[in-house]
């Protein structure tokens, strides 16, 4: 893997980058590539139901956000990725012009070769679709010379959507066409995922998801050594002189 590769993840909530793309991020980092995660919201409201129930409402949104951001920090250290949180409220996640401008500046500054984000249609978590649509929109704006003209324009970024909350294509329209074997970095992903103690169910849920995606990947390739995989759907079509 080229050290010139730069992977940018735009995620709605604290745990999203890890549970959906932690394996790929770890693989890029281990290969010497640069990786950066933008967490739009710590997920202190609807993403932290178990903590609110445990505290019987006797906790502040600010305190919950602090807990969630500590989880992000611990997980990011395990994966080896740099991160930033915009601190937006969740449920609903609302992205205004100022945030769009900030995201565009992030893209122009970091200059990713790969962009990962949520699918555009997420009926089981509307925040995810909001984040995905914002990511796609600002990636387009980054190509326009008249938008923030003090920074250099981007060429179209290879963009992929990661797993939705529920892998139900009939509801989400998510049809993965790219499977990444994460067998050798699955322990890193699971160790990082375990840091999100407010949502402890993620560990088993995304272990099972990785096993299911690995079975699909192994079937289509005939490679039975694939034990864990992450699934993605390409947004920008592949263009080249040969097949990838």
Q: Are 115 and 25 in contact (CB under 8 A)?
A: no
Tell me, rounded to whole angstroms, the distance of Cα 104 from its chain centroid: 17
Q: Which residue has the tokens 């034990």?
A: 227
Kindly state the tokens that stand for 121. 């249609």
Q: How far is residue 126's CA from residue 142's CA, in Å, rounded to a whole number?
A: 25
Structural domain includes residue 239: no
Q: How far is residue 10's CA from residue 17's CA, in Å, rounded to a whole number?
A: 8
Q: Are 142 and 190 in contact (CB under 8 A)?
A: no
Kindly state the tokens that stand for 8. 């940018």
Residue 35 has a pLDDT of 97
Structural domain includes residue 12: yes
Residue 14 belongs to a domain with what CATH number? Answer: 3.40.50.10320
Provide the whole-model pTM.
0.96
pLDDT(117) > 60? yes
The average confidence (pLDDT) of the chain is 95
Domain count, the chain: 1
Q: Which residues pair with 84 in a beta bridge?
A: 38
The predicted-structure confidence for 227-241, as pLDDT tens digits, reads as follows 999 999 999 999 999
The domain in which residue 46 lies consists of 6-234
């Amino acid at each position: 893997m080229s050290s010139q590769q730069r992977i940018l993840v735009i995620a709605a909530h604290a745990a999203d980058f890890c549970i959906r793309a932690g394996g790929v991020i770890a693989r890029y980092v281990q290969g010497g590539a640069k990786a950066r995660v933008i967490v739009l919201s710590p997920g202190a409201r609807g993403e932290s139901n178990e903590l609110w129930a445990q505290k019987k409402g006797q906790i502040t949104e600010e305190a919950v956000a602090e807990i969630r951001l500590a989880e992000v920090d611990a997980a990011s250290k395990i994966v080896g990725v740099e991160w930033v949180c915009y601190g937006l409220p969740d449920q609903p996640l609302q992205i205004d012009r100022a945030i769009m401008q900030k995201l565009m500046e992030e893209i122009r500054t970091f200059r990713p070769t790969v962009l990962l984000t949520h699918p555009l249609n997420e009926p089981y978590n509307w925040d995810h679709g909001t984040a995905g649509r914002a990511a796609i929109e600002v990636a387009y704006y980054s190509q326009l010379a008249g938008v923030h003209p003090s920074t250099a324009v981007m060429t179209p970024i290879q963009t992929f959507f990661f797993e939705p909350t529920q892998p139900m294509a009939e509801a989400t329209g998510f049809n993965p066409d790219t499977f990444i074997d994460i067998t050798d970095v699955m322990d890193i992903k699971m160790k990082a995922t375990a840091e999100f103690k407010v949502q402890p169910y993620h560990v088993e849920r995304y272990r099972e998801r990785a096993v299911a995606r690995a079975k699909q990947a192994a079937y289509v390739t005939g490679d039975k050594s694939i034990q864990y995989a992450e699934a993605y759907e390409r947004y920008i079509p592949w263009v080249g002189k040969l097949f990838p």
